[in-house]
Amino acid sequence: MLRVKRLYRRFWVAVAVFVLLGNGLSSACADSNRSPGSSADLPQAQTGSSATATMKEDPGVLLVRPTSSAATAQKERPNVLLITVDTLRADAVGAYGNPKARTPNIDSLAQDSSVFRLAISPEPQTNPTLASIFTGVFPNRHGIVHHMASKLSGRVKPLAELLAGAGYATAGHYSWISFDPEYSGLERGFATYQRHTVDRPFPADRKPDFYEEYLDSKANVTTDGVISWMETGAKDPFFLWIHYNDAHWPYEPPPPFDARFDQ
């Protein structure tokens, strides 16, 4: 645990990207005046910073920790942390104007970050959009045009591959089967690439559309895997991608969250 704390302290720059894969909230993200608490007082996107924004899912929230000068960033080669969250809608986050939301950690990060309030997804499915985040190009260029049915093209280099070539330790810890190599090709460039799901027996005659009934995603399981990697495999500089899937159907939160919004 001391190793983890030391690594976090060395994050003089951390990029935290919350990829909101839910549908139908582009207008909510775009409306900057919908309520007095709609984050009008939050820091807006900055220019001249060494931190950069990336494409995100529909609708999106991008939180970028402000950094020092680009020259310093080039010299220091910062560690990079990328966090994506499946199906988390902007109107479920307090920093985006929902007074009933209970997202204290994201809200705290937003208060000390550049907040991007409008994002347009290149595709309404998970794998194509994550591929666009990793490559910076549209699905017709990177090759993943259909979720779990097409794979990353060899004609493009994803972020992990580029950073690995620059001497970064790379790790991807994710909470859903769609990112497995046979369904995505997104493992390229990651020295460590690990899925964290709680698996149930899956009948051989069922189609992939029914995976949700036999797999479960728990943030604590994924986070335990991340901490284990940071304590044993992380080296500076590193690129770490973490994907959480808890907000996705079938909606089976653990206690006490399972009853928190029953009233």
* Residue range 68-117, pLDDT digits in tens: 554 555 568 899 999 999 988 888 899 999 998 889 999 999 998 988 88
Instruction: Compute CA 185 distance to the chain's CA centroid, rounded to the nearest angstrom.
Output: 17
**Gap between the terminal Cα atoms of the chain:** 38
Q: Are strands 215-216 and 198-199 parallel, antiparallel or unpaired?
A: antiparallel
Looking at the chain, list the stretches that DSSP marks H as alpha helix, in order from N- to C-terminal side.
Answer: 2-9, 26-30, 70-76, 104-111, 126-135, 139-142, 159-165, 181-184, 219-232
**What whole-number distance in Å separates Cα of residue 214 and Cα of residue 218?**
13
Taking residues 124-133, what's their average pLDDT? 94
What whole-number percentage of the chain has pLDDT above 90?
40
- Is the overall model pTM greater than 0.75, yes or no? no
Identify the pLDDT of residue 210. 61
Identify the pLDDT of residue 129. 94
Residues whose CB falls within 8 Å of the CB of residue 3, separated by 6 or more in sequence, listed in order: 230, 231, 234
Q: Are strands 169-174 and 192-195 parallel, antiparallel or unpaired?
A: parallel
What is the per-residue pLDDT across 212-243, written as a single tens digit (0 to 9) for each? 666 777 888 899 999 999 998 788 999 999 99
Residue where the block lists tokens 């991340």: 226
What is the per-residue pLDDT across 143-183, written as a single tens digit (0 to 9) for each? 999 998 999 999 999 999 999 999 999 999 998 888 999 99
Burial call 148-158: b when 16+ CB within 10 Å, e when fewer: bebbbbeebbb
